[in-house]
C-alpha cells in the first residue's frame, strides 16, 4: 500500500500496519509505533473496531492482511481516508490514486450539486462515483471484494442529570484540566503556535496553557487592522505574556488566492470531497516566510469548541415551532443548509434522500426537543464543521506543521454530549465556566461585541429578518458589481475583498445566487467551476443535457 500525504505528520508503518496522527491510550500520550505494537496482536476486524474505540485523539489507521484490509479515522475525520469500490484499495490522496491507477473519473453530478449548494457532500460519497470516504467515527473492512462499514462513535447525545450549574461547571473544570494535561504531554516541549482570535475557544487554550505553566507559546492573528478580533487578541496575548504577531489582510494579501502554491494547497484539501478553506493561508505564508514559526512547532487551534458547547442549539421558543418527525427535520436541514444556489428540482429530492439516509444511520427517533437536537447536531457536525473547518488542518500540513485540536478531545465532546440542552443553549455552561474559572483576570475577560444568541427558526421569515437580509444583500451586490468594498466592522478577515477576487476569476458569473451572496457561496461556485468545468457546472444548475 502506498500513501502520499506525509506533510506535517508522517505515516508510521510496519508489517502492513499504517498509522498517522497523535493518540492517547488510557489517558496517556502514545507514539505511533506504540500503537502499531498494540495492533500487531489484533487478528480480526471485530477486535480492530473495539481497539479503535479506545483511542482518543486525531488519527487514521490502516491494517492490510492477507484476509483483507481494515481502516479507521477518528471522531472528527481529521485525516481523511478514501477507498475505491472498483479496486478495493484505500488512499489518502484521491488525485494521485486516480493517476497511478489510470482510473476513469466518473463524476457524480448529485455530489457536485451538493458541493455547489452547501460546500460539502453528505454521507460517504465524493464527487467521483467509485470513490468513497470513511466517515467520522467509522471503521471499514474490505474483504472478498465486499466493504463493511460500522460506526464506533456517533455525534448523538446521551443526556445526564446534574443538580445545578455549579456542579456542571465543576465537572467541566475537571475535564479541562485532563484535556490540557494530555495536550502538554503530546507537545513534548515543542513550541505551541496558537491562532489567537478575539473569540473564546483559542483564548481558552492560551489561558489554560499559561495556567498549567506551559509558556513556550507564540500567538498570531490576522485580518482587518483595527477589528475587534485583532484588538482583543493582542490584549489577551499581552496579558498572558506570550509573543504575538499580526498579519494584515488587505486586497493585496488576498491576491494570493490565485497563486500556484495556494491552488496546490486547495487541490490537496479538496480531494473530491470539499471546498478549500483559505482563511489561514496568507497568515501562515507570511509567518513562515519571515521564519517567525520555529522548526518543529505545533499549531494548537480552537476547532470547534463552541459546537459541542451549544452554539447551534435552537432557541427555546422553537420547542413549540418544531414538528417532531424525521420528515420535518429533513426539510429543516435542506432549507437552512443548501442556500448557496437555488437547487434544481431534479436534485432537490435526491439531496433530501441523502439527508434522510444519514439520519437513519444514527438509529434514533425524533420524539422531543432533546432527540431533535441530538439528531440535527449529529448531521450538522458531520457536514460543514468536519468537512470544511476540521479539514482546514491541511493548511498547517501544507507548511510542514503538525497540529493539535484539544477541543475535539473525546472527554470534552462526551461531556457536552451528556448535557441537557438547557445547559448548552447559547453556550450557557461553557461561557459560565470560562468567565468564572479561566477568564477571571483583567485583560482576559473581554466579551465579544456580539454574543451569538439562538434566534427562533421563524426569525428569517419575519419582517425584521427579511429587511436585514435584503439590506445586507444590497450592500454585497454593490460590492460585486462595482468592484467597491466598504470597511465592515464584522468583516474581520476582509472576506468581501477575497470574494470579489474569486468572483472576477469566474467564467460564468451568472452561477452566483444574488439572493444570498457571501464569500463561502462564491468560493464553492468558483471552485466547482474551476475543478469540474464551466459546462458541467452550468448543466447541473440549469438542468440542461
Indicate if the pLDDT at residue 286 is higher than 50. yes
Output the pLDDT for position 3: 76
Q: By 3-state DSSP, what share of the chain in percent is helix, strand and coil, each rounded to 5?
A: 50, 15, 35
pLDDT higher than threshold 80 for residue 511: no
Q: What cell was used for 163?
A: 443538580
Res. 490: pLDDT tops 90? no
Per-residue pLDDT of 188-231, as tens digits, reads 999 999 999 999 999 999 999 999 999 999 999 999 998 999 99
> What b/e sequence results for 533-543 when a residue is b if at least 16 CB atoms lie within 10 Å of its CB, and e otherwise?
eeeebbbbbee
3-state secondary structure 268-302: HHHCCCECCCCCCHHHHHHHHHCCCCCCCCEEECC
DSSP letter at 14? E
In the beta sheet, which residues pair with residue 246? 221
CA distance 46 to 195: 40
Q: Helix (H, G, I), strand (E, B), or coil: what is residue 29?
A: strand
**Are the CB atoms for 404 and 300 separated by under 8 Å?**
yes
Q: What is the pLDDT of residue 545?
A: 43
Q: Band of the pLDDT at 457, cuts 50, 70, 90?
A: low
Instruction: Compute the average pLDDT of residues 74-91.
Output: 97
Please give the pLDDT value at position 316.
83
Instruction: Determine the Cα–Cα distance for residues 26 and 18; give it in Å rounded to an integer.
Output: 21
| pLDDT confidence of residue 476 | 62
- Which stretch of DSSP H or E encloses residue 440? none
Q: What is the share, in percent, of the chain residues with pLDDT greater than 90?
A: 78
Task: Count Cβ atoms below 10 Å from residue 481 Cβ, excluding itself.
Answer: 11
If one compares 179 and 490, the residue with the highest pLDDT of the two is 179
Mean pLDDT of 445-456: 71
Q: Per DSSP, which regions of 273-397 are E strands?
A: 298-300
Question: Would you say residue 232 has pLDDT above 90?
Answer: yes
In which element (H, E) is residue 360 found?
A: helix 345-361
Supply the pLDDT for residue 4. Answer: 74
**The CATH number of the domain covering residues in 12-151:** 3.60.20.10
For 213, the grid coordinates are: 505553566
Say whether pLDDT at 259 is over 60. Answer: yes
Tell which CATH architecture fits domain 165-308+385-438: 3-Layer(aba) Sandwich (3.40)
What was the pLDDT predicted at 469? Answer: 64
pLDDT, residue 88, reads 95
- Look up the pTM and report it: 0.94
Predicted local distance difference test score (pLDDT) of residue 140: 99
Output 477 or 89, whichever has higher pLDDT: 89
Cell of 433: 465556566
Res. 534: pLDDT tops 60: yes
The pLDDT of residue 271 is above 70: yes
Rounded-to-integer distance, Cα 152 and Cα 481, Å: 49
Average pLDDT of the chain to the nearest whole number: 92
Helices 534-542 and 109-118 pack at an angle, to 10 degrees, of 80
Q: pLDDT for 121-130, tens place per residue?
A: 999 999 999 9
Which among 233, 234, 220 is positioned nearest to 285, based on CA atoms?
220
Whether the per-residue pLDDT at 482 is higher than 80: the answer is no
In the prediction, which pLDDT does 343 show? 83
Q: Are strands 17-25 and 82-84 parallel, antiparallel or unpaired?
A: unpaired
Q: Is the pLDDT of residue 529 over 60?
A: yes
Give residue-wise pLDDT tens across range 300-334.
Answer: 999 999 999 999 999 888 888 899 999 999 999 99
In whole angstroms, what is the distance from residue 164 CA to residue 476 CA? Answer: 46
> Which residues contact residue 376 at a Cβ distance below 8 angstroms, ignoring those fewer than 6 apart?
314, 329, 332, 333
What is the SS3 assignment for 152-188? CCCCCCCCCCCCCHHHHHHHHHHHHHHHHHHHHHHHC
Query: Under a CB-based contact definition with an 8 Å cutoff, are residues 425 and 452 in contact?
Result: no
60: its cell numbers: 487514521
The pLDDT of 54-66, averaged and rounded, is 97
Identify whether the C-beta of residue 313 lies closer than 8 Å to the C-beta of residue 373: yes
Which residues, 6 or more positions from 349, have their beta carbon under 8 angstroms from its beta carbon? none
Q: What is the mean pLDDT of the segment spanning 118-141? A: 97
Checking if the pLDDT of 453 tops 60, the result is no
Dist. CA 262–CA 259, nearest whole Å? 5
pLDDT at 294: 96
pLDDT value at position 398?
Answer: 97
pLDDT above 60 for 18: yes
Is the pLDDT at 413 greater than 70? The verdict is yes
The model's pLDDT over 141-179, given as tens digits with 9 standing for 90+, comes to: 999 999 999 999 999 998 877 878 999 999 999 999 999
Calculate mean pLDDT across residues 370-393.
97
Q: Is the pLDDT of residue 338 over 90?
A: yes
Note whether 412 and 406 are within 8 A (CB).
Answer: yes
Which run of H or E residues covers position 63?
strand 56-65
Amino acid at each position: 500500500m502506498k500513501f502520499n500525504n506525509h506533510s506535517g505528520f508522517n505515516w508510521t508503518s510496519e508489517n502492513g500496519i499504517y498509522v498517522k496522527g497523535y493518540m492517547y491510550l488510557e489517558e496517556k500520550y502514545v507514539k505511533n509505533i506504540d500503537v502499531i505494537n498494540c495492533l500487531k496482536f489484533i487478528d480480526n476486524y471485530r477486535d480492530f473496531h473495539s481497539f479503535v474505540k479506545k483511542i482518543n485523539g486525531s488519527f487514521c489507521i490502516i491494517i492490510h492482511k492477507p484476509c483483507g484490509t481494515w481502516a479507521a479515522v477518528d471522531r472528527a475525520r481529521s485525516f481523511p481516508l478514501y477507498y475505491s469500490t472498483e479496486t478495493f484499495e484505500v488512499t489518502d490522496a484521491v488525485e494521485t490514486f486516480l493517476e497511478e491507477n489510470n482510473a476513469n473519473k466518473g463524476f457524480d453530478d448529485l455530489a457536485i450539486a451538493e458541493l455547489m449548494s452547501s460546500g460539502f457532500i453528505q454521507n460517504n460519497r465524493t464527487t467521483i462515483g467509485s470513490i468513497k470516504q470513511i466517515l467520522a467515527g467509522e471503521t471499514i473492512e474490505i474483504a472478498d471484494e465486499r466493504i463493511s462499514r460500522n460506526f464506533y462513535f456517533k455525534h448523538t447525545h446521551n443526556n445526564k442529570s446534574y443538580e445545578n450549574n455549579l456542579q456542571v461547571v465543576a465537572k467541566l473544570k475537571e475535564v479541562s484540566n485532563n484535556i490540557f494535561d494530555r495536550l502538554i504531554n503530546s507537545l513534548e516541549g515543542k513550541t505551541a503556535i496558537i491562532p489567537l482570535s478575539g473569540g473564546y475557544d483559542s483564548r481558552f487554550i492560551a489561558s489554560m496553557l499559561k495556567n498549567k505553566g506551559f509558556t513556550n507559546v507564540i500567538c498570531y492573528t490576522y485580518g482587518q487592522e483595527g477589528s475587534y478580533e485583532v484588538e482583543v487578541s493582542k490584549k489577551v496575548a499581552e496579558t498572558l505574556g506570550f509573543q504575538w504577531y499580526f498579519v494584515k489582510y488587505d486586497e493585496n494579501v488576498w491576491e494570493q488566492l490565485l497563486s500556484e502554491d495556494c491552488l496546490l494547497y486547495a487541490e490537496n484539501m479538496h480531494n473530491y470531497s470539499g471546498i478549500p478553506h483559505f482563511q489561514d493561508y496568507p497568515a501562515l505564508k507570511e509567518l513562515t516566510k519571515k521564519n517567525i514559526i520555529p522548526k518543529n512547532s505545533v499549531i494548537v487551534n480552537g476547532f470547534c469548541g463552541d459546537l459541542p458547547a451549544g452554539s447551534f442549539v435552537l432557541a427555546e421558543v422553537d420547542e413549540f415551532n418544531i414538528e417532531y418527525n424525521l420528515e420535518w427535520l429533513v426539510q429543516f436541514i435542506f432549507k437552512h443548509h443548501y442556500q448557496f444556489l437555488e437547487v434544481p428540482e431534479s436534485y432537490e429530492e435526491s439531496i433530501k434522500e441523502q439527508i434522510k439516509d444519514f439520519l437513519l444511520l444514527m438509529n434514533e427517533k425524533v420524539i422531543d426537543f432533546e432527540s431533535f437536537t441530538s439528531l440535527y447536531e449529529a448531521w450538522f457536525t458531520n457536514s460543514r464543521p468536519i468537512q470544511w473547518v476540521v479539514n482546514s488542518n491541511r493548511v498547517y500540513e501544507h507548511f510542514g506543521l503538525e497540529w493539535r485540536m484539544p477541543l475535539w478531545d473525546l472527554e470534552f465532546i462526551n461531556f457536552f454530549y451528556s448535557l441537557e440542552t438547557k445547559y448548552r443553549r447559547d453556550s450557557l455552561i461553557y461561557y459560565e465556566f470560562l468567565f468564572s474559572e479561566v477568564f477571571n483576570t483583567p485583560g482576559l475577560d473581554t466579551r465579544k461585541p456580539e454574543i451569538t444568541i439562538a434566534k427562533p427558526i421563524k426569525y428569517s421569515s419575519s419582517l425584521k429578518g427579511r429587511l436585514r437580509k435584503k439590506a445586507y444583500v444590497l450592500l454585497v451586490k454593490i460590492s460585486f458589481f462595482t468592484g467597491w468594498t466598504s470597511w465592515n466592522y464584522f468583516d474581520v478577515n476582509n472576506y468581501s475583498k477575497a470574494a470579489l477576487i474569486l468572483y472576477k476569476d469566474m467564467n460564468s458569473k451568472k452561477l452566483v445566487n444574488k439572493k444570498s451572496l457571501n464569500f463561502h457561496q462564491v468560493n464553492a461556485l468558483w471552485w466547482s467551476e474551476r475543478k469540474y468545468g464551466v459546462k458541467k457546472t452550468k448543466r447541473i444548475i440549469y438542468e440542461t443535457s
